[in-house]
Structure 1
Amino acid sequence: MSTDRLDEVLDATYDCLTRYGVRRTTMDDIATTMGVSRSAVYQYVRNKDDAFRRLAARLHDRALERARRAAADEDAPYPERIQGILAAKLDLVLELNGASPHTAELIDQKARLFGGICAAFTGDLRRLLIGLFQDAGTAAGVEPAEAADICIALVIGLESVADGERLLEASTGALLAGLLGTPLLTGR
């Protein structure tokens, strides 16, 4: 299967998602957006649900790769690496929430099509955070898993406010100062 052609199918699927939403999009819509026949689209995806699942997986995989790069950046201090992981999650959500009222469906953990992808993504981020907190050490009385859960809860909260991206640095810095027992983080 040609990766480039599959990417075109997923790009067209995203375009249709922004216009119509998951329920109203048809395979004909995806094909028309691509400028090909419906049968040509079926060469790359089994059906509409498959196209949307693959699209959600692609977007989450890209954000996870960004989080992994942040976690692995040994030249950066731990607070910066942790903030990079949280920024990857927040940026994904803000990107999808801002593109169209329909795109937020791709990040709904309760959605039938995407719930597993979203839950796996959050689980992967949690494991990255736990690893960093184990390496960095946490303040007395806070286990690395608890610190990771607190950080994820912070980002989920920031996802629901209008200026969450602007608040990420200050809120992460304050939170990590307490969790790690370090000075406040400055600069993103």
Structure 2
Amino acid sequence: MGTDRLEEVLDAAYDCLKRYGVRRTTMDDIATAMGVSRSAVYQYVRGKDDAFVRLAGRLHEQALLRAHEAATADAPYADRLHGVLAAKLDLVLQLAGDSPHAAELTDEKTRLFGDICTSFTADLRSLLTGLFAEAGTVAGVGPARAADICIALVVGLESAPDARDLLPQATGALAAGLLGTPPAPPETLYSTTL
């Protein structure tokens, strides 16, 4: 299977998803978006559900890679924490910004994407738990519990209208509370932008 052609199929599936949503997209729509016949698309995916599952998997894998890079970066723990949480928040905000239909790819309750989303959250929790185990946490809050608090925070931010602006300050507060580090002055909070 040609990896480049599969990527083209997934890109076309994403374009159709943004316009029509999962249920209303057909294999003909995906083929038309690619400029090929429907049978040509079937060489790379078993059907539209397979295309959308692969697409969701690709997007979640890319976000998890960014989270892993942030968690293992040579940077202060608060910056690393911010990077991990930003990877999750960016995924959700990008998809929601592209189209209300695209946000379906991050819905843990859907039949097609639930396992991918659940696995992504579990992997993110594992990264955060490892980060907190390495950094140490304040008394009474173990690394796994600290990870759960962080995930709850970022999930809450996903629906905030100014989520990207709130994340650095929220991460600073979490770092101060969970790691026991003094908060950074507002002008120096996380030089990386989302």
TM-score relative to the length of structure 2? 0.95
Letter in 1 for 2:71: A
The CA deviation at 1:20 is 0.3
**Cα displacement (A) at 1:62:** 0.3
Q: Secondary structure at the match of 1:69?
A: helix
> Residue in 1 aligned with 2:13?
13
Note if 1:29 corresponds to 2:29: yes
Q: How many residues align?
A: 187
- Distance of 1:169 and 1:182 partners within structure 2: 15
The gaps in structure 2 that reach 5 residues or longer are none
Amino acid of the structure 2 residue aligned with 1:176 = A
Compute the TM-score of the two structures, normalised by the length of structure 1: 0.98
Structure 1 Cα separation of the partners of residues 53 and 6 of structure 2: 13
Aligned counterparts, 1:62-73, within 5 A? 62-73=62-73
Q: Percent identity?
A: 72
2:132 is matched with 133
Q: C-alpha deviations, 1:57-88, integer Å up to 9, x for none?
A: 00000000000100111x20111111100000
Alignment of 1:165-184 (within 5 A): 165-184=164-183
1:117-170 CA-to-partner distances (Å, cap 9, x unmatched) read 000000000000000100100001001000000000000000011111110000
Q: Alignment partner of 2:141: what SS?
A: coil
1:82 corresponds to which residue?
81
- In structure 1, runs of 5+ residues without a counterpart are none
**Which residue of structure 1 lines up, in the alignment, with residue 110 of structure 2?**
111
Distance apart, 1:10 and its partner CA: 0.2
- Is 1:45 aligned to 2:62, yes or no? no
Cα RMSD (Å): 0.7
1:160 aligns to what? 159
Corresponding residue of 1:2: 2
Q: Deviations over 1:76-116 (max 9, x none)?
A: 01111111000000000000011011011000000000000
Kindly provide the CA deviation profile for residues 11-61 of structure 1, in whole angstroms up to 9, marking residues without a partner as x: 000000000000000000000000000000000000110000000000000
- Equivalent-residue separation in structure 2 for 1:166 and 1:3 (angstroms): 37
Counterpart-to-counterpart distance in 2, 1:183 and 1:25: 51
The residue aligned with 2:57 is: 57
Partner letter of residue 55 of structure 2? L
SS at match of 1:161: coil
User: Once superposed, which parts of structure 1, at least 4 consecutive aligned residues long, lie more than 3 Å away?
Assistant: none
Q: Which residue of 2 aligns with 1:102?
A: 101
